[in-house]
Amino acid sequence: MAALAMLLSLSACDKNDSPTPEPEPVIQPGEPGVVFNNTLIIYMAGENSLARFVDADSIEIARGAMRLPDSARVVVFIDDAKSSRICVATKKAPLQTVRTFPRNITSTDSTEMLGVLNEIFTTYPARRYGLTFWSHASGWVLHQNPSQVRRRSYGIDNGKRDRYSNNGIEMEITTLAGVLQHLPHTDYILFDACFMQCVEVAYELRHVTDWVIGSPAEIPGDGAPYQLMLPLMCAKTPDVGAIAHCYHDYYNSGVGHDTYYGVVLSTIRTDKLDALAAATKPHIVALYGDRHEALLDDVQRYCPRDDDSYYTEYYDLASLMYRNLAADDYVQWRTVFDTAVPHVLCSENWYTALLGSSHMLTVDDAAHTGAVSMFTPGVNFDDRRHWNDTYHMFEWYRGAGFDQTGW
């Protein structure tokens, strides 16, 4: 009996002394405070008529996050008809809301935007950053008429949790550049928004990012195919050409929504923009001096609505130069342009909500289209839209020599 008791005692000791299995570690969404290689920030100003696309794009982001590198995270700020919130995902932790703001954030207010982005950069540090701006937009264009409620540039926030109204506060590009100057430098900025690939916007942002990716025209409401693009956007060293090709090919191949036909995109290398301004300046002075107007016949434009008070025509910069310069001058200028804009992706046609149908390239040789637009001053903009005067506030106006033309 004594021997049996001892055996039972030893057995009990052995059982009690066996190591307890370690619990599975709890992975915090995005691992706040941990320095990752990449943090991709997607800023969705969706308190407007695009609110209906937020959920679909969130699903795409969630799917794309499953294919991220282990050292990357995606952080999404969403302001829509539901709430203002921050969502985070990594390959190991699915996209989930980590913060819902107790009040309605005005996503197009500079102080509010700076606060949100600063919180994200601080909480989710990385060695490299990518930044996407998602919303309505209209490039550099804005209204100075105080009787007009709307001002076009980037984003719309109606402030009413309304999923239909586009009547609200918008952000000027000079203000956006000022906000970003207080934040870490980014590898690239992708504008998942219409008309933002104009030289005026890129030139304004040349000190805050290495690349600008976007379209000089309208883009589909569905926007970027994030389920495919996220791994490219968060690669160890992001390849902006691959990002742009993925976006373009998704629609141009017919994989995207079949009513959208295609999309026009380009990439701009910001450290080459001063050289582009210098190369462009003598031609601008020659073409527009003494308030002359360049010839615009057959120049590609991305919004052919002469009667619209919110959108300019968005003439293609390369096409403008091709139609107005001598052949040798154009070849020399185009060499500088191609260095600054190495990826030009133009579908033959693309969807436009403003015209209600497909829009097409109008030039006879698409090789001379650069997928970057530029404002062309004219007397029709003096009184009706005040854009000639408004244009003076942009650095491209001075960098490209418009300040020497009388416009």
- Under the banding of pLDDT at 50, 70 and 90, the label for residue 5 is very low
Mean pLDDT of the chain: 89
Structure-block tokens of residue 79 = 């302001």
- 113: exposed, middle or buried (C-beta count within 10 Å: 0-12, 13-18, 19+)? buried
The domains of the chain, with CATH numbers, are 36-271 (3.40.50.11970), 274-404 (no CATH)
Please determine, for residue 147, whether its predicted confidence score (pLDDT) is greater than 80.
Answer: no
Give the pLDDT band (50/70/90) at residue 308: low
* Alpha carbon distance 11, 312 (integer Å): 85
* Alpha-carbon span 120 to 268, nearest angstrom: 25
The number of residues in the chain equals 407
Residue 320 has pLDDT above 70, yes or no: yes
Higher pLDDT, 231 or 313: 231
Measured in degrees and rounded to the nearest 5, phi and psi for residue 239 equal -105, 105
Look at 302 and 342; give whichever has higher pLDDT: 342
**Closest by Cα among 215, 211, 210, 209 to 197:** 215
In angstroms, the CA 241 to CA 302 distance is 22
331 vs 286: CA distance, rounded Å: 17
pTM of this prediction? 0.91
Contacts of 213 (CB under 8 A, 6+ apart): 188, 189, 190, 191, 197, 240, 243, 244, 247, 265, 266, 267, 268
List of E strands, 273-360: 315-316, 343-346, 349-352, 357-360
pLDDT at 26: 56
Q: What mean pLDDT comes out for the span 11-28?
A: 50
pLDDT of amino acid 104: 97
Q: In this predicted model, what pLDDT tens digit does every residue of 90-117 receive, in sequence order? A: 999 999 999 999 999 999 999 999 999 9
pLDDT digits (tens, 9 = 90+) for 41-64: 999 999 999 999 999 999 999 999
Contact yes or no for 168/109 (Cβ under 8 A): no
Q: How confident is the model at residue 13 (pLDDT cuts 50, 70, 90)?
A: very low
pLDDT for residue 354 is more than 90: no
Tell me: the pLDDT tens digits for 261-299?
789 999 999 999 999 999 999 999 999 999 999 999 889
